[in-house]
Structure 1
Amino acid sequence: MLPQAARMRDGDEFRRTIRRGASASTGTVVTHLALTDELGVRVGLVVGKKVGNAVVRNRVKRRIRHALRSELAGLPAGSRVVVRALAPAAESTDLAGDVIGSLQRASRRSSAGRV
């Protein structure tokens, strides 16, 4: 589970991160990463109904949160991350690897600027 302070809940914060952040994708997830002047790292998840029913969506969210938990410390302060799960995420055997890989690629691309 992610710490309470690391969770993104505001819709505007999601939109700003997606619109202005660097993105990277795999076949199972799309990761958006934006750098802000604020303190702390915040993460938001988007898992739509195309992924599956509620049980499957919640399982995918738990797997993504577990993968991100170990990566939070390595992100620069002020990072905002949105991970959007795609339909194949439900059957993925290496979802954690996809999440970490796309986060690393987005991190390399995000060094261009801050939101």
Structure 2
Amino acid sequence: MGLIIAKSVGTAVERHRVARRLRHVARPLLGNLHPCDQVVIRALPSSRQVSSVRLEQQVRRGLRRAFESAGADR
């Protein structure tokens, strides 16, 4: 899994906090992926203010949409 967290998200401390939160919510979801699957998550500036529950919902939705558009039945 890769993360893209631009400077527009905030200060270095805020970017690292967002990265930690994203890794925390994505880790259990990524266990279901095939070893050849590659995932990159791009954090938007609004990700700094959303709750962890909402962040997890958005990551789930993004993964589902990515695999649907790739033709994977998951």
TM-score by length of 1: 0.57
Structure with higher strand content: 1
Measure how far apart 1:77 and its partner are.
Answer: 2.7
**Is 1:77 aligned to residue 66 of structure 2?**
no
Measure how far apart 1:67 and its partner are.
Answer: 1.2
Root mean square deviation of aligned Cα: 1.3
Measure how far apart 1:96 and its partner are.
Answer: 1.6
Structure 1 counterpart of 2:4: 46
Moved over 4 A (4+): none
Unaligned runs of 5+ in 2: none
**Is 1:108 aligned to residue 65 of structure 2?**
no
Structure with higher helix content: 2
Aligned length: 70
SS of equivalent to 1:101: helix
Measure how far apart 1:100 and its partner are.
Answer: 1.6
Same amino acid, percent of matched pairs? 40
Measure how far apart 1:111 and its partner are.
Answer: 2.4
Question: What pairs with 1:7-18 in structure 2 (closer than 5 Å)?
Answer: none
**Is 1:63 aligned to residue 63 of structure 2?**
no
